[in-house]
Structure 1
Amino acid sequence: MSEVVTYSREGTIGVITVNYPPVNALSHAVRSGLVAALEQGQKDTDAKVLLLVCEGRTFIAGADIREFGKPMQEPGLAAMIELYENSDKPIVAAIHGTALGGGLETALGCHYRVALSSARVGLPEVKLGLLPGAGGTQRLPRLTGAQKALEMITTGDFVAAKDALALGIVDSVEEGSDIRAVGLTYAQKIADEGKPARRVRDLNDKIEADKGSDVFEQFRAGLQKKARGLFSPFKCVDAVEAAFNLPFDEGMKRERELFMECMESPQRAGLVHAFFAEREVSKVKGLPKDTPVRDIRKVGVIGAGTMGGGIAMNFANAGIPVTIAEVKQEALDKGLAVIRKNYENTAKKGRITQAQVEERMSLISGTLTYDDFGDADLVIEAVFESMDLKKKIFGQLDEACKPGAILASNTSTLSIDDIAAATKRPQDVIGLHFFSPANVMKLLEIVRGEKTSDEVKATAMALAKKIGKVGVMVGNCYGFVGNRMLHKRGAEAMALVNEGASPQQVDKVLTDLGFPMGQFAMSDLAGIDIGYSIRKERRKAGEDVPASWMDKLAEQGRLGQKTQAGVYKYEEGNRKPIPDPQVDQIIAEFRQEQGITPREITDQEILERCMYVMINEGAKILEEGIADRSLDIDITWIYGYGFPAYRGGPMFWADQIGLDTILATVKHFHEALGGEQWKPAGLLEKLVSEGRKFSDL
């Protein structure tokens, strides 16, 4: 008998217990143990009903990630589930915590399912570029019907216990916290009523009801927009459809074929890399695990604009009181009104209740003086990109805030060390770079200064998790990691338009790669005035920043979506970018002023110049130690800039293309175009010469 799975009996109930911390994952030992325990239960003549229950905080939460990428040892999951399904004795699965992926598939192989009201179930394999491969696509629709099964499997979203009951996934939902007691009570009821083993595979009412309908055709049409560029969601639809068109055993074979197609897809590799990278990124090089963390109980935010308001919402959402400071009452009132409107809109969509709107608003207050930050544990400055202004603010905060308070800047480009120098506590200064919209975007780029203490670094990483962000620790330089690479891409995109491409051609190449929007549409979303301010600051600092037709847009008040005109124009209430002949004219005049004769530019050149310049810059960032690992860059770009997760991030994508190909192209553009941005990174040359990848570092 396996140590992680045990068999015992209570009265007439045979109890199979899984105890494999932390999440009872379906490792080889667990699968083997489940088979052995089932055999023992079948031989136990005094056991009338079998109960499958798990110790710890959760039911089986899926596959064992330690076995990812390795051949599955027998017994395989599908074979194990089949043994449970074919049991002559009824088997009850008692679900608490989460039953995910193979865990839910195991429960579906049992004959009855009881869940605590706090439990959740789901089949999230699609998020790793896969589909449920142990009968999930064949059994779930027999309980829920086609539409709900398709929604669950193609999104990978979790379903709360009460909703699972309504859908027919579970048979009973009970209050309480003792899942073993709940399971035993339900199993005893099954025994007392003499209920037989009820196999999900034999339930065909929902199959017959949806057979021959156009639900699959309609669902595929909807996926064309929702899952644009993705592979596995469409394979999920094919697999579910097989449940309606084929006998169960043949449907299982079809599911396996489609599962293997997903396994062989490059997208699966990219999504698995992103999955592991997100977990690894929380481990900061050189930061001891036992570093003390400060308690953040009250937060201050400077600036009630779009960014400041969004930042404040993150803390209110996490139950942390926050005070927002503004210079004028009018600006403060406007900012607080926008926050309330955002919450009200979320409530209208059913994502939060009206009571939660009021609860969160009660945690947000306003002020016109930094004196109200005297008891704040953290203050975040979120004003526009002016070093002079930021230094002035930090000098004032140094006087107003208590000893030990962390002072953070939301700067997207400026030196944290220069900002910290305006205080007497540089050890307590750090960069917390949120991404717009700050209450939605998951990335928090945490910028360590030269003198930032380990305690402050550890606190920032822990805080990111508390407010639902993915925190990435990076070093201090112009633009840090994300914007440093973005500005290289932006410069190439600008150059390409100067030379003859249109903004929409450049943007289409990027969206075809999988980005949700292109370079110029993103500029419109962020606000053209932001880039304009950055360029002015750089020129003020003595940098040679070339003239730009984007400056002309800013000077004409075309600031992007907020003015309904930027690189594109926008209709009221619609964010869809529309090409604007006026901008074409501005670009044409700019080319004429600069003496540029436009030429035809291919999509391939746009792809290589926009993306390979980023890869080369990423290599320099690694070389300089601004990012500790290539996965830090990958996660920054996935969660901060919309890099398609199925491509694994820019550095993983470069590994897939081949660093020798990247280097050869970088050298070509260095010879053809010149410029520091095309000078091959020493690390890139080194890796190619050694036959290694970024992921090998």
Structure 2
Amino acid sequence: MIYSGKAVSVQMLDDGIAELKFDLQGESVNKFNQATVQELTEAGAALKADGNVKGLIVTSGKNVFIVGADITEFTEMFKLPEDEIASWALRANQAFNGIEDLPFPTVCAINGIALGGGLEMALSCDFRVASTVAQVGLPEVKLGLFPGFGGTVRLPRVIGVDNAVEWIAAGGQHKADRALKDGVVDAVVAPEQLKDAAIALVKECLAGKIDHQAKRLEKQVAITLPPLENMMAFQTSGAFVAQQAGRNYPAPMAAVNVMQQHAGMNRDQALEVESKGFAKVAKTPQATALVGLFLADQAVKKANGAHVKKGAKDINLAAVLGAGIMGGGIAFQSALKGTPIIMKDIADKALDLGMGEASKLLAKRVERKRMDAPTMGKTLSMIRPTLNYGDFGNVDVVVEAVVENEKIKQSVLAEAEGHLKDGAVLASNTSTISITRLASALKKPENFAGMHFFNPVHMMPLVEIIRAEKTSDETIATLVKYAQKMGKNPVVVNDCPGFLVNRVLFPYFGGFGMLMRDGADFQQVDKVMEKFGWPMGPAYLMDVVGIDTGVHAAAVMAEGFPERMQYDFKDVSTVMYENKRLGQKNGIGFYRYEEDKKGKPKKVVDEATYELIQPHVAARKEFDDEEIIARMMIPLCTETVRCLEDNIVGSAAEADMAMIYGIGFPPFRGGPLRYIDSIGTEAFVALCEKYAHLGGIYQAPQMLKDMAAKGESFFG
């Protein structure tokens, strides 16, 4: 054994060829934490000192290669001053340089996922051989960063500027054949041939058939393009990246700028530029939010794993009650992900609508070459329309998705319960009705919970799993498991009016209503909030959701939380509703909708909107952008805090991720609670006090006041 550590080991094979193996003890995957980087440095020194080694292969002892850096270490590290972060990155790079500078040929055998630091490790070798099942990429921009272990230096020198910009700025994860085509890897072989292929490549270098020194030199000198071509390559690709990334995500453009800056330098000079650039993006608020978002997503997955362990049952057959757009969407998603589903309704016309919805969604996948026609037919056959309960005795999970009326839902649920086998789970897709009240109609309320999908089902990643007073852990576990099988991100919440997402969303709409009452222009509010980062402003969002749906839900919120959400003025959404302006569903709401060339609704300003609301609002005036943002965001953020305070949601991470998944909260801001952290709890309470005179939705919750007094934050 040449070197032995807890993550890295080096042993001699035959013919003077050594094997450096990554196999991080106590973990299911390999990742670059600080200890692994240190061991790689030591392993490189041991290899250099051993005069018997003639060549090296780099392998993994796990079914992935290396998934990247240990992101859990970033939070504390990124609190350091910029120059210290740059120094850390430069020191870490010495480990990779140590492998690249070894006095013999090196070949990396990529057996599975190699992302971020994993691919950067592979790039430090002379050659890369990938298994057919391998996937590689540099996804750091998705964390608000760019590669900091030599990726911006080596990749453009290996595959050219254009390809490198695409790989780094888009942050994609690519299969082995794409990596081979672009030159990121040198060969692709079957998994069982991988190690032998890597050894054979080393032997060809040793036999003089391949010049590994020439290959290595390409990565250590300036990019070999004439100056004008070099400038044009970066300008052209940079303009495209800037357009795609937008101003809220600076990392992709920062990566392009860094690559252009060090293009004419040798490796060591270029790595210094990369390290400084990496430190700069690491200190941006976007990196703080997006790294936090990644960690929050992991926390949600961990929480869901804990739920599933509490007795989740197998789901071999599902059913949906109600074959409308929602029912058809649920049936489509279940079948698409491999769980057969019965779709029941009381009318053939409704079943035709549900099957039509599923067929339309599947046809789009075929059209976009994401599915072939035989697979479409097979998937569609997994949805069985019916007018009766004939096979409900075999169903494991039933999701009710009938009209949003409490009495009708109770009747349908009670009827369905009578046809189910013992232990089958029953759920309601209601968006507003109390799950505890719905459960009162059932004989086995412990087998019942809410399962709230968001529209359109096939696109929206969130599913709220709502626990009623008598819901069992096993029921929650089963529904979480089913949501995961459907490819969704479940968040478990407790029952209350609006559950989590709508309870938080409607104070945001309340803030919009107050702005309109006070003379704001809905178009200005939309533009400001879209500039803030929302995919659509509040007026546009109401049109998309459906103004009738919004008015109904607002009434539920007002009844549930009268001290905050019962308003003493006529809201403009009510004015729209009374004038039968329901939004996109009937072509007119705050905006008028016309079909574009692709047949999609395009919003057009309608001056009649101003005439309709004029009797109910103050004279129109211009508001400062910061005031609009404050008046929109305070109600949403404070209600999120109240949901945490009231134990509606289990953690800050779950609350934030529900808002990201469910209503499109700007990801680069990290979620409502991380947004409060970015301002500071004390400063946010002061902001609340500034606007508290507007009503209850602007008043800081006691939990937030207490945190501010202690100098605490939601995410440490």
**TM-score, structure 1 as length reference:** 0.92
- Partner-residue secondary structure (3-state), 2:418: helix
Indicate which of 235, 245, 265 corresponds to 2:254. 235
| 1:195–1:33 CA distance, 2 compared to 1 (3 A) | farther
Tell me what 2:573 maps to. 550
2:628 corresponds, among 606, 610, 629, to 606
The aligned counterpart of 1:468 is: 487
Aligned mates of 1:207, 1:356 — CA distance in 2: 47
Identify which of 30, 36, 42 aligns with 1:24: 30
1:222-371 equivalent positions in 2, closer than 5 A: 223-284=242-303, 290-371=309-390
| In structure 2, C-alpha distance between the alignment counterparts of 1:127 and 1:374, rounded to whole Å | 46
The 1:178–1:365 alpha-carbon spacing in structure 2 relative to 1, beyond 3 Å, is farther
1:690 aligns with 2:693: no
**Equivalence for 1:201:** 219
Call closer, same or farther: CA 1:74–1:571 in 2, change over 3 Å: closer
What residue number does 1:143 align with?
158
Instruction: Tell me, yes or no, if the aligned pair for 1:28 and 1:75 is still in contact at 8 Å.
Output: no
Q: Deviations over 1:294-324 (max 9, x none)?
A: 1011111223333222222322222111222
1:650 Cα deviation from its structure 2 partner: 0.6
User: Is 1:615 paired with 2:641?
Assistant: no
Partners in 1 of 2:380 and 2:305 — Cα distance? Answer: 39
- Greater Cα offset, 125-134 or 397-406: 397-406
Moved more, 389-398 or 197-206: 197-206
1:311 & 1:144 partners in 2: Cα distance? 44
- The question of 1:431 aligning with 2:450 is answered yes
What is aligned with 2:514? 495
1:382–1:285 Cα change, 3 Å: closer
Write the letter of the residue equivalent to 1:18. F
CA RMSD across the alignment: 2.7
DSSP-derived class of the 1:7 partner? strand
Match of 1:571 among 578, 594, 601: 594
Q: 1:638 aligns with which of 660, 666, 671?
A: 660
Contact 1:24–1:59 (CA under 8 A) maintained in structure 2: yes
Q: For the residues of structure 1 that align with 2:308 and 2:191, how far apart are their CA atoms?
A: 35
Task: Say if 1:250 and 1:181 are closer, same or farther in 2 by CA, change over 3 A.
Answer: same
For each residue in 1:65-86, what CA deviation from the matched residue of structure 2 results, as whole angstroms up to 9, or x when unmatched? 3432355879933111112212
Residue 252 of structure 1 aligns to a residue whose secondary structure is helix
Aligned AA (1:634): D
Query: 658-667 vs 238-247, which deviates more?
Result: 238-247
CA distance in 2, matches of 1:645, 1:251: 31
> CA-to-partner distance for each residue in 1:372-427, whole Å, 9 max, x for gaps?
43311111122342212221221112112222111111222221111111111111
Structure 1 position 54 matched with structure 2 position 60: yes
Taking a change above 3 Å as real, the CA distance of residues 631 and 82 of structure 1, as seen in their structure-2 partners, is same
**1:128 aligns to what?**
143
Write the distance in 1 (CA, Å) between the matches of 2:547 and 2:369: 33
Distance 1:50 1:538 in 2: 66
2: CA distance, partners of 1:570 / 1:214 = 41
Q: Deviations over 1:445-473 (max 9, x none)?
A: 22111111111222233333333222211
Distance 1:385 1:191, change over 3 A: farther
CA contact (8 A) 2:634 2:698 kept: no
Corresponding residue SS for 1:211: helix
Asked if the contact 2:304/2:490 (under 8 Å) is kept, the reply is no
Q: State the shift of 1:164 in Å.
A: 0.4
Question: How far is the alpha carbon of 1:104 from its aligned partner?
Answer: 0.3
Residue in structure 2 matched with residue 585 of structure 1 by the alignment: 611
> What's the offset of the Cα at 1:538?
6.8
Say whether residues 1:86 and 2:101 are aligned partners: yes
| Residue-by-residue CA offset, 1:16-40 (whole Å, 9 max, x unaligned) | 1111132211123322332333344
Call closer, same or farther: CA 1:276–1:205 in 2, change over 3 Å.
Answer: closer
CA–CA separation in structure 2 for the residues paired with 1:690 and 1:571: 53
In the alignment, the residues of structure 2 paired with residue 686 and residue 202 of structure 1 have an alpha-carbon distance, to the nearest angstrom, of 55
User: Structure 1: which 5+ residue stretches go unaligned?
Assistant: none
For 2:604, the aligned partner's letter is I
Q: Is the 8 A contact 2:521 2:620 kept in 1?
A: no
Match of 1:389 in 2: 408
Q: State the TM-score, normalizing by the size of structure 2.
A: 0.90
Q: Confirm or deny: 8 A CA contact 1:285 1:628 kept in the other structure.
A: no
Change (3 A) 1:561 1:74: closer
Residue 105 of structure 1, CA deviation:
0.6
Deviation at 1:561, TM superposition (A): 2.2
CA distance in 1, matches of 2:556, 2:648: 22
Question: Gapped runs of 5+ residues in structure 2?
Answer: 78-84
Change (3 A) 1:289 1:360: closer
8 Å CA contact 2:333, 2:458 repeated in 1: yes
Percent same amino acid at aligned positions?
A: 33
Structure-2 change in CA distance of 1:384 and 1:258 (3 Å)? farther
Q: In terms of mean alpha carbon deviation, does 581-590 or 351-360 score higher?
A: 351-360
Q: 1:272 Cα deviation (Å)?
A: 1.1
Tell me if structure 2 keeps the 8 A contact 1:101–1:123: yes
CA contact (8 A) 1:85 1:109 kept: yes
Give the 3-state SS of the residue equivalent to 1:15 in structure 2.
Answer: strand
Q: Which moved more, 1:353-362 or 1:48-57?
A: 353-362
Where do 1:27-46 residues align within 5 Å? 27-46=33-52
- In structure 1, what is the Cα distance between the partners aligned to 2:614 and 2:174? 54
Change in 2 beyond 3 A, CA 1:537/1:390: farther
C-alpha separation between the residues in 2 aligned to 1:289 and 1:67? Answer: 28
Alignment partner of 2:181 out of 166, 182, 185 = 166
The residue matched to 2:164 in structure 1 has which SS? helix
Between Structure 1 and Structure 2, how many residues are aligned? 690
Cα distance change on mapping 1:223 and 1:354 into 2, 3 Å: farther
Shift of 1:480: 1.3
Aligned 8 A contact 1:302 1:379 in 2: yes
2:72 and 2:295 in contact (8 A); partners too: no
Deviation for aligned residue 1:687: 1.5
Match of 2:82 in 1: none
Q: Does 1:414 pair with 2:433?
A: yes
Q: Which residue of 2 aligns with 1:664?
A: 686
Using the alignment, how far apart are the partners of 2:316 and 2:270 within structure 1?
54
Pairwise CA distance, 1:344: 2.1
Letter in 1 for 2:531: D
